[in-house]
Amino acid sequence: KIPNALWANLIRERLSNVDCIKQGWILEGFPENQEQAWMLQSSGIFPRHVVPNHVFLAEVFHTTFDWPSDPLVQQRLVKPEGLSEQEVSKKLLEYHRKFPEIFHIYQKVLKSVNADQPSVDV
Q: Model confidence over 3-15: pLDDT tens digits? A: 888 888 899 999 9
Per the structure, the complete domain to which residue 30 belongs is given by 4-106
| Model confidence pTM above 0.85 | no
Q: Examine residue 32 and state whether it is found in any structural domain, yes or no.
A: yes
Q: Examine residue 114 and state whether it is found in any structural domain, yes or no.
A: no
Give the CA dihedral 87, 38, 103, 6, nearest 10 degrees.
-20
Q: Examine residue 75 and state whether it is found in any structural domain, yes or no.
A: yes
- The number of folded domains in the chain is 1
Q: Examine residue 91 and state whether it is found in any structural domain, yes or no.
A: yes
Please list the ranges in the chain whose pLDDT falls under 70.
52-66, 78-80, 82-83, 112, 115-116, 119, 122
